[in-house]
Amino acid sequence: MKISARNVLKGKVIAIKTGPVSTEVTIEVAPGLQIVSSITTGSATTLGLAEGKEAYAVIKASSVMVATD
């Protein structure tokens, strides 16, 4: 796999919540550290995602917002 994104974190799929249009995928990238992504259900099917399967969380953003109370 070659990709331009600099933040690629390998992990294991620990949860999948499938909806009619979007699917929420939770990937554990380190013990106790999880990343949740919302992708199309079609993409989840095409990727063959399943709990326990290895996957990559690819993060590419042009900005990061910070907020406080």
Give residue 61's pLDDT: 76
Give residue 48's pLDDT: 96
Spatial contact of 47 and 1, defined as CB atoms under 8 Å apart: no
Give residue 5's pLDDT: 79
* Total number of domains constituting the chain: 1
**Structural domain of 35:** 7-52
Amino acid at 32: G
Give residue 4's pLDDT: 81
In tens, the pLDDT along 8-56 reads 999 999 999 999 999 999 999 999 999 999 999 999 999 999 999 999 9
61 part of a folded domain:
no
Confidence band, pLDDT 50/70/90 cuts, at residue 2: confident
> What CATH number is associated with residue 18?
2.40.50.100
CA quadruple 39, 34, 56, 18: dihedral sign:
negative
